[in-house]
């Protein structure tokens, strides 16, 4: 079950944290993985870890907010590993972990693109560059990492929530377009994640918001992505799966 042998995955923003864990876990299930990051050294380090474990991978530097960059990235991955079957849109700009956030009416309009370009246009760009190939081959999986903020809204991060909500809406619509061609499109909605060496006081304060009593870890996210990327999930599309410690229950 969940065997991805012979499949090729592209994971954006995979040079560290959640993205790296997703890339490593997909590789452990047999997929060849294109590891993208804005910084080449991070992407190459994760790819090297996969290769050293006996897998196939290539690290690719690209800015997902730049469509031409994305097209070149896809060409590189496909020339090295083969046609992309699985796209994981993980790259994104998160809210400030120190919660130095402000009401929307106090934001500078020039700052809005910081959240929109990667969190929404990055998803557009990567899907635009890969979906046609999936349709032509009759199989594909698209998984976009979003936030519970995009599902329910959160104060003091309105533009971020708008971008994530936009990604959710886009995936729902895309799912209906591509479903007849054997391609699925789903989201995984996250709560707060943090590094294990984070500020203990901040981590403890954030953990109180979650019924399970802790914030998330990358290892909580990757198995959900593997499921949605697998053959077993072929009848699941247009959905948003919360992986958020019980933060929401709908």
Return d(Cα 9, Cα 82) in angstroms, integer. Answer: 9
CA atoms in the 13 A half-sphere facing the CB of 219:
2
- At 98 the three-state DSSP class reads coil
pLDDT attached to residue 47 = 98
Residue 196 confidence (pLDDT) above 60: no
Q: What is the mean pLDDT of residues 122-143?
A: 98
Which one of 121, 160, 210, 247 is the catalytic residue?
160
CB 99 within 8 A of CB 160: no
Q: What is the mean pLDDT of residues 87-109?
A: 83
Return d(Cα 82, Cα 159) in angstroms, integer. Answer: 37
User: For the segment 6-59, what is each residue's pLDDT rounded down to a tens digit?
Assistant: 999 999 999 999 999 999 999 999 999 999 999 999 999 999 999 999 999 999
- Find the length of the chain: 250
The mean of the pLDDT values for the chain is: 94
Tokens at 35, concatenated: 């590891």
pLDDT attached to residue 184 = 98
> What phi, psi does 61 have (nearest 5°)?
-85, 130
pLDDT attached to residue 146 = 98
Q: What is the mean pLDDT of residues 177-189?
A: 98
- At 154 the three-state DSSP class reads coil
Residue 198 confidence (pLDDT) above 80: no
User: For the segment 236-249, what is each residue's pLDDT rounded down to a tens digit?
Assistant: 999 999 999 999 88
- What's the angle, vertex CA 150, arms to CA 145 and CA 156, rounded to 5? 120
What distance, in Å, lies between the first and last C-alpha atoms of the chain? Answer: 28
Annotated catalytic residue 160: yes
Return d(Cα 104, Cα 166) in angstroms, integer. Answer: 17
pTM assigned to the model:
0.96
Q: What is the mean pLDDT of residues 62-74?
A: 98
**What are the boundaries of each domain within the chain?**
8-243
Q: Which CATH fold topology does 8-243 show?
A: Rossmann fold (3.40.50)
Cα–Cα separations (whole angstroms), residue 30 to 1, 23, 185, 199:
12, 11, 21, 36
pLDDT attached to residue 100 = 59
Tokens at 97, concatenated: 């972990």
Q: What is the mean pLDDT of residues 58-65?
A: 98
pLDDT attached to residue 59 = 98
User: For the segment 141-169, what is each residue's pLDDT rounded down to a tens digit?
Assistant: 999 999 999 999 999 999 999 999 999 99
Return d(Cα 140, Cα 153) in angstroms, integer. Answer: 30
pLDDT attached to residue 197 = 63
């Amino acid at each position: 079950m969940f065997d991805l042998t012979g499949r090729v995955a592209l994971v954006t923003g995979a040079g560290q944290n959640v993205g790296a864990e997703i890339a490593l876990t997909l590789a452990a299930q047999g997929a060849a993985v294109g590891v993208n990051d804005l910084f080449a050294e991070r992407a190459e380090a994760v790819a090297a870890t996969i290769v050293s474990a006996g897998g196939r991978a290539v690290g690719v530097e690209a800015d997902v907010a730049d469509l031409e960059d994305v097209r070149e990235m896809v060409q590189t991955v496909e020339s090295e590993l083969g046609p992309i079957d699985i796209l994981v849109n993980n790259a994104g700009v998160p809210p400030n972990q120190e919660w130095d956030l402000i009401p929307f009416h106090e934001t500078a309009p020039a700052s809005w693109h910081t959240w929109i370009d990667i969190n929404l246009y990055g998803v557009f760009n990567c899907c635009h560059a890969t979906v046609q190939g999936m349709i032509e081959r009759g199989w594909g999986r698209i998984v976009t990492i979003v936030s519970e903020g995009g599902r329910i809204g959160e104060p003091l991060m309105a533009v971020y929530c708008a971008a994530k909500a936009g990604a959710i809406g886009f995936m729902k619509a895309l799912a209906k377009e591509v479903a007849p061609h054997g391609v699925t499109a789903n989201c995984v909605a996250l709560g707060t994640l943090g590094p294990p060496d984070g500020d203990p006081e901040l981590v403890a304060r954030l953990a109180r918001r979650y019924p399970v009593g802790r914030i998330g870890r990358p290892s909580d996210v990757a198995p959900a992505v593997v499921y949605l990327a697998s053959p077993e999930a072929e009848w699941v599309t247009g959905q948003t799966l919360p992986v958020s410690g019980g933060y929401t229950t709908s």
